[in-house]
Structure 1
């Protein structure tokens, strides 16, 4: 039988497994490699922190979904690939042979972009590790009133985490957002940035447009030379390419991620597929956002079937504009579409409905792979 290895349990691979659960891939043995048997759905994590969801509501049982798809599960992390030998290297020291490989492992948060971060900071990714530590931060805030929490990163993750933590910790902690020299939400339209700043101001969250360059016990040093009191630094910067990619032998894009074509295949090794944050569409660059991974999922599933059957591949064409929905932790949310933006309870209800539908779809006995989300 042909060997198909799905490395990573990201949004696209969830949909691939759901498609295989509905219709088995004939003549192919499928193996899912994932460090954790459960995936946190990133769109709902700020809601979990704010107390609007339970942990269970924001998780997808990858192992159960893989069983329904007839796939074998290997609980391990990817540390390398030898594409010419068609071997995937695992953290445990083993290797997996493949005829086709699909990578949906996501990017990484570098531990070394900020001096001292590795020793002193909490990192938002991987999500399972961060969510394991979140209750400890809550407990620390309860024991130490006035705790100085500093979220580092001015993107969507940094904004949502800052307001969620402020909501959860209430008067127990002071929250500061170090947005970086680019400022808050630099890739979003001006209207949304103004609305987001108003939300942060109304919560008493200080926004600093400067880069964090060093973390020390009890303080954070900024690029401008000033120092900021900091008891709990939380790093929510953008993702970097996994370190193992640099020596993988796969052709990489200028940003260090896997260069892929419209059929989601590696430019250099067509038997390797890559989606989500680990990849870069060199013909159609787009932001690293879950919406693109979600929409690539059905195309990836179709192309893995095409690979197994020797049929032509489908093309994934990313949309020019993507809807962004950001939780404000108080029963409202922000929305942006192109230059348009809005905030309200109706936006939260919209986001809540989309997020719940995504997670619930993959808990059903027959997951709904055709969902069109954000």
Structure 2
């Protein structure tokens, strides 16, 4: 099969390397690249060269961002070409649109690499769904934030110091907003819920990050044998579902609490299979490239995933609720003492907790909030 790669950055190069070294049945025929970076005879700055080439059966999109990725993916699908993408932002924003276009054209839309890097997360959800509903999922879906928390604990370092180190190592972008404010996990949570629950997951979910996390917060929770992880999670039952992204205080005895450096750990739960956990590299050139090539090989073998979002689940934020801790100088309605400088509210939905956080940030911009895990 002849394919084209859109974008030749970290992931695109990883895809090409794996194919050239290990997958003789696939040929990288064209590469879309900027006009001033045409270092390979297969490269073109003109996407139409790819869309109009009948020999190219599949397009790998790993450019990132919403546009022009959104337009390019739709054009490829409408032209009868399969699409494999690692772009979680564009899939989260346009999943239903892409799925409909792929169905109409009779081509494959494969998205394994958009969540969890090299972890076979989407494929595992799809296998479980062949037999039964996924009741819930949760996990550490962002290696940057996990590296930050892990390093703060290990080295006793400040947030800013660890973030700077993560940027030096390539674990964090120059602009870390998407990671530390939970936007990256938000996109992955939307995609996970859409696949797990057969629903066009709401874009309007409560999202909180770890921007205000301090050494004191980790010490505060540590005194209660807890640590903090940024968790994306979802639950569904009885025609309803809920999703959230937020720091969660988990017991130090859990697997989640002990995930090191930039690794990911994601979990799903279903009635007959029970709890399944998947651990591995959630990003990077070769892990993500591996997931993309797995999708390409599935497509070569004739696999065409279908996504049906007509189930009609109702979004109900009350399904995700529990105690929340606020480290703040602001006044939190209904709160009780937790630790010096911190209070706890016993039962809030994730949506209510995010609203309280927003109010607290107005008077104390350093406020940090974390849900307390039910298993803690």
Larger proportion of helix: 2
Shorter-chain TM-score: what band? under 0.3
| TM-score, normalised with respect to structure 2 | 0.28
